[in-house]
Amino acid sequence: MSEALVLSAQQGAVRTLTLNRPAALNSFTTDMHRALRAALDEAAADAAVRCVVITGAGRGFCAGQDLSDPAIAPDLTPGATPKDIGRLLDDHYIPLAKRLRSMPVPVIAAVNGVAAGAGANMAFNCDLVVAAKSASFIQAFSKIGLIPDCGGTWLLPRLVGRARAIGLAMTGDKLPAEEAARIGLIWQVVDDAAFADTVGALAQRLAGMPTKALAETRRAMDAAVELGFDDGLALEARVQGELGRAHDYLEGASAFLQKRAPQYKDR
């Protein structure tokens, strides 16, 4: 039997999904897309999961689209109809980006090695990007005549500003993890030797926090980007009102007052 394209492991309330095509730096085939989306849907539906970690097997995180996948590999036969790359985005990359940004639990991208093309932008769709010092990020699209996708054109200017976003996208230069952290593109860079432990501790810590409030934090921040100040304030009041009536706020506030550890359960 062939090995699973996405490995799934549970430790406490943390679900770790490992992209598993190491020989091709975990680049996306149609089958790996399906496997990752199924695994994310499963984690979203499972009340025992309170944090998801996405990482890569072997020396890479994800090299974006597998350029040899028959779905998009160029057919050089004279007169052949060009492959419909737009459809590939509609069918796979758009649903992936939306799935990541609507997960009911926090999602960590644990970038263990190179993240290129849609592999980098998949990571930027996650809530926290933690990279090993030896990892790097490449907007590889310009080198093959494409634009950043999987949310790249939307995310990059918002994360690092227009000048850096355009510079990264046009040059396709490799951005070392330390530089990515310095310019605010990612949350944290960690020495390779401490990478697994640091990601594990962060994931367990997030899993013990009020999950629903964390997911609503992401949702409100993403929505606020499109709103004026007054509407942003109104959104906060509406969401805070809802959270204030939920279990986790009562638990968090009373645990604080009673000087004990809170037990959160909303999701």
Site for ligand T3D, rule CB under 6 A = 24-25, 27, 63-68, 72, 85, 88, 114, 116-118, 138, 140-141, 144, 146, 149
d(CA 24, CA 28) in angstroms, rounded, equals 9
Residue nearest to ligand T3D (CB): 64
Cβ proximity to ligand T3D: between 104 and 152 the closer is: 152
| Residues 183, 160 contacting (CB under 8 angstroms) | yes
Instruction: Name the minimum Å distance from CB 6 to ligand T3D.
Output: 17
Encoding tokens for residue 161?
């500003």
* Of 207, 179, 79, 240, the residue nearest 232 (C-alpha): 240
d(CA 55, CA 132) in angstroms, rounded, equals 11
Instruction: Name the minimum Å distance from CB 147 to ligand T3D.
Output: 9
Cβ proximity to ligand T3D: between 50 and 92 the closer is: 92
d(CA 134, CA 157) in angstroms, rounded, equals 24
Cβ proximity to ligand T3D: between 71 and 202 the closer is: 71
Instruction: Name the minimum Å distance from CB 28 to ligand T3D.
Output: 7
d(CA 174, CA 172) in angstroms, rounded, equals 7
Cβ proximity to ligand T3D: between 147 and 201 the closer is: 147
CB-based contacts of 114: which residues, under 8 Å, 6+ apart?
25, 59, 60, 61, 63, 135, 136, 137, 138, 174
Cβ proximity to ligand T3D: between 137 and 195 the closer is: 137
Instruction: Name the minimum Å distance from CB 19 to ligand T3D.
Output: 12
| Residues 46, 11 contacting (CB under 8 angstroms) | no
Instruction: Name the minimum Å distance from CB 162 to ligand T3D.
Output: 22
Cβ proximity to ligand T3D: between 149 and 216 the closer is: 149
Instruction: Name the minimum Å distance from CB 203 to ligand T3D.
Output: 26
